[in-house]
Amino acid sequence: MNGKGTTARTRLERGRGALGPALELVHTGRAPTRAVLTAELGVTRATAGAVAAELEALGLIRVDSRPGAGAGSQGRPSHRLSIDDKGPVALAAQVHADGFRAALVGLGGRIVATAPVRSTVTADPAQVLGEVVEAGAGLLRTTGLRCVGAGLAVPSAVAEPEGTALNPLHLAWPAGAPVREIFAERVRAAGIEGPAFTGNDVNLAALAEHRHGAGRGAQHLLCVATGHRGVGGALVLDGRLHTGSAGLALEVGHLTVNPEGRPCYCGSKGCLDVEADPLAFLTAAGRAPGPEVSLLQQARDLLRTEHADPAVRRATEELIDRLGLGLAGLVNILNPDRIILGGLHRELLDADPERLRAVVADRSLWGRSGGVPILPCTLDHNSLVGAAEVAWQPVLDDPLGALAP
């Protein structure tokens, strides 16, 4: 008998210190039962039980008395810990060149509801963000779920601590637009409680992949992706996003990957930004980019459907070599224990994983660091989930403090 009501009530004031770590373990799927939770936290069973009861009382998780696929077949079966699907959610928003989208994301990175994508991104950030927040507010109204906060992913470097978008170029937004401020104001205006965060989309995608995707368990996770124009990077260190002292870290686009390469707008030449993005791929394959769909879509289609074409094959190999050189440079500096690729880079990895791994290993200084696993990202909408992740962070750090008052 797991006396739910009363037991949880009497323990409500206990377990503050271990509460955050415990929730994070359940959140990332590393604590399926209380027994595992006990081991992972390094506490006694009594403490783990109290903590789980408290998280249940907060409406965040559920303790099922049913099966619980425990460890060995012997001994008393453990109760299963799961995320309460009636629990609170975070409002996640994403803006990119093709449009914007809003979603509600619960613990565990589960997308609870999504608003249809709109493809009208105007030059006015306040209008776009107002619409996307309104879409999210609509989702909250129809589902009736509690909201812990809001997160926004933008395809631009975001300066800290101001929260301004430094290069939202392919959104046609003004450089330096105070996106965090605008977003926070719209969130407040929509009557949504909780704090509002804003971050670079690749950074947030990396965070999501680290917690719920291909990056699980990595201590030093490097993420590189290309979507529309340019190349983005992100680093997750010990579970935390490393954004540098001013939010400008991992601007990897200007590593030199081709000394004889084409000139870059930064003043150098042969930069990763202009040598390994969708436009570079289309150009290398001798195709003129069309205006209908996004560059990423065009490049992806070309790579998938015409990979037998010699020109496409050559372009693929060339981009893999350039990307590999860039990754090797990053490996020498950051020495990650895992690399995850997104966007077109993910397609390049799928097209010829051996070639890419060989280039990285060959141009890394030590065989060991060059042998770092390179994986495709595995999470749908990882930027969106990452945006929710930062909104969830205060709750993960201190559940009682963030939810009680």
Closer residue to DNA in complex, CB, 6/245? 6
Which of DNA, a copy of itself, none is residue 127 near (CB under 5 to 8 Å by kind)? none
By CB under 8 A, name the one of 117, 246, 293, 311 that touches a copy of itself.
246
Q: Which residues contact 1 (CB under 8 A, 6 or more apart)?
A: none
User: How far is 120 from 251, CA to CA, in rounded Å?
Assistant: 28
Contact 233, 250 (CB under 8 A): yes
DSSP character at residue 123: S
Helix (H, G, I), strand (E, B) or coil at 135: helix
Can you spell out the DSSP letters for 173-212?
PPTTB-HHHHHHHHHHHTT--S-EEEEEHHHHHHHHHHHH
Contact 387, 197 (CB under 8 A): yes
By CB under 8 A, name the one of 248, 264, 400, 403 that touches a copy of itself.
248
The region that residue 23 occupies, defined by phi over 0 for left and psi between -120 and 50 for alpha, beta otherwise, is alpha
Choose the stretch contacting DNA; rule: CB under 7 A; options: 2-10, 116-124, 132-140, 218-226: 2-10
**Between residue 42 and residue 61, which ones bind DNA under the rule CB under 7 A?**
42-51, 53
Nearest to 183 by CA among 235, 119, 130, 144: 130
By CB under 8 A, name the one of 118, 242, 313, 355 that touches a copy of itself.
242
Minimum CB separation of residue 246 from a copy of itself in Å reads: 6
Which of a copy of itself, DNA, none is residue 350 near (CB under 5 to 8 Å by kind)? none
Which of a copy of itself, DNA, none is residue 79 near (CB under 5 to 8 Å by kind)? DNA
By CB under 7 A, name the one of 9, 16, 86, 141 that touches DNA.
16
266 binds DNA (CB under 7 A): no
295 binds DNA (CB under 7 A): no
31 binds DNA (CB under 7 A): no
33 binds DNA (CB under 7 A): yes
Parallel, antiparallel or unpaired: strands 196-200 and 147-154: parallel
Number of H helices, E strands in the chain: 16, 14
18 binds DNA (CB under 7 A): yes
Which of a copy of itself, DNA, none is residue 363 near (CB under 5 to 8 Å by kind)? a copy of itself
By CB under 8 A, name the one of 245, 288, 290, 291 that touches a copy of itself.
245
User: How far is 81 from 103, CA to CA, in rounded Å?
Assistant: 25
9 binds DNA (CB under 7 A): no
Contact 332, 364 (CB under 8 A): yes
**Between residue 4 and residue 63, which ones bind a copy of itself under the rule CB under 8 A?**
none
Nearest to 168 by CA among 222, 105, 121, 131: 121
Which of DNA, a copy of itself, none is residue 225 near (CB under 5 to 8 Å by kind)? none
3-state percent helix, strand, coil for the chain, nearest multiple of 5: 45, 20, 35
Which of a copy of itself, DNA, none is residue 33 near (CB under 5 to 8 Å by kind)? DNA
Which of DNA, a copy of itself, none is residue 256 near (CB under 5 to 8 Å by kind)? a copy of itself
Count CA atoms within 13 Å of residue 383 on its CB side: 27
Nearest to 332 by CA among 296, 293, 307, 361: 361
Q: Which two tokens stand for residue 250?
A: 């991992």
Minimum CB separation of residue 330 from DNA in Å reads: 38
Count CA atoms within 13 Å of residue 202 on its CB side: 33
Contact 244, 250 (CB under 8 A): yes
Minimum CB separation of residue 399 from a copy of itself in Å reads: 21
Closer residue to a copy of itself in complex, CB, 170/363? 363
Footprint on this chain of a copy of itself (rule: CB under 8 A):
157, 159, 166, 219-220, 233, 237, 242-252, 254-256, 259-260, 266-270, 329-330, 332-337, 362-363, 365-366, 368-369, 372
Footprint on this chain of DNA (rule: CB under 7 A):
1-3, 7, 10, 13-19, 33-35, 38, 42-51, 53, 68, 70-79
